[in-house]
């Protein structure tokens, strides 16, 4: 992929990106990753749901290590109920807050079995009614599994949106609502993953890798790191 030339970038106007800049920003992220997806490992909607519940205040790498042990033994709601909470805790004990997460997973599995026939619901309200599932987790499932235009604003997306001027907001819901307004329809399905990955590997919290950033000329961040691109 050729590096973007600042001369060809849309002209800046103020602290937030213009519509043309947003299109250019997302086009470049799409160019380097045409089919983005989560880094959590899963084979079924249920496996993803559980992985996302476990990922709160934990890394995807750590969650994947735990689910690689868990899923060969139990990867359905009923199988996890049969496994039991104590055994579940042992399998996820390397993940932070594993005691509370185990309780939530068991409670969520019971609801899935009793109210949804063991299937992950596609309805937001039903998802958010599951223990351990908030709006962010529901958005991940709706977007990644069901192809819904939803954006789960985590710390990476919150930082990228505010730092770059893509969609500034004082809290995660304000950023989510603004992203849903300003992102063109053609990018809505992939935006969630592009922004997370950009924040995780390029627009990092302590030392963003600005010299190698493909959207650096569009970014409003005043304290860009220096170096040769």
Catalytic residue among 60, 65, 86, 154: 154
Catalytic residue among 101, 123, 136, 224: 136
Residue 136 a catalytic site member: yes
**Helix axes of 188-201 and 155-164: crossing angle, nearest 10 degrees:** 90
Give catalytic residues, as residue numbers. 136, 154
């Amino acid at each position: 992929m050729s590096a973007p030339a600042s001369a060809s970038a849309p002209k800046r106007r103020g602290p937030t990106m213009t519509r043309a800049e947003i299109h250019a920003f997302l086009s470049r992220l799409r160019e380097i990753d045409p089919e983005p997806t989560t880094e959590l490992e899963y084979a079924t909607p249920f496996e993803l749901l559980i992985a996302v519940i476990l990922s709160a205040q934990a890394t995807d790498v750590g969650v994947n290590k735990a689910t690689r042990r868990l899923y060969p033994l139990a990867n359905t709601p009923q199988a996890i109920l049969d496994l039991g909470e104590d055994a579940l805790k042992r399998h996820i004990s390397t993940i932070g807050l594993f005691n509370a997460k185990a309780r939530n997973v068991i409670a969520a599995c019971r609801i899935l079995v009793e109210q949804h026939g063991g299937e992950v619901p596609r309805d937001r309200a039903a998802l958010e009614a599951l223990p351990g599932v908030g709006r962010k987790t529901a958005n991940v499932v709706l977007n990644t599994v069901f192809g819904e235009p939803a954006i789960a604003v985590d710390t990476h997306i919150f930082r990228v949106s505010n730092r770059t001027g893509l969609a500034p907001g004082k809290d995660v819901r304000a950023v989510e609502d603004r992203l849903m307004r300003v992102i063109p329809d053609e990018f809505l399905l992939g935006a969630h993953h592009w922004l997370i990955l950009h924040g995780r590997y390029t627009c990092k919290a302590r030392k963003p890798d600005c010299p190698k950033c493909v959207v650096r000329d569009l970014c409003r961040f005043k304290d860009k790191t220096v170096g040769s691109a």
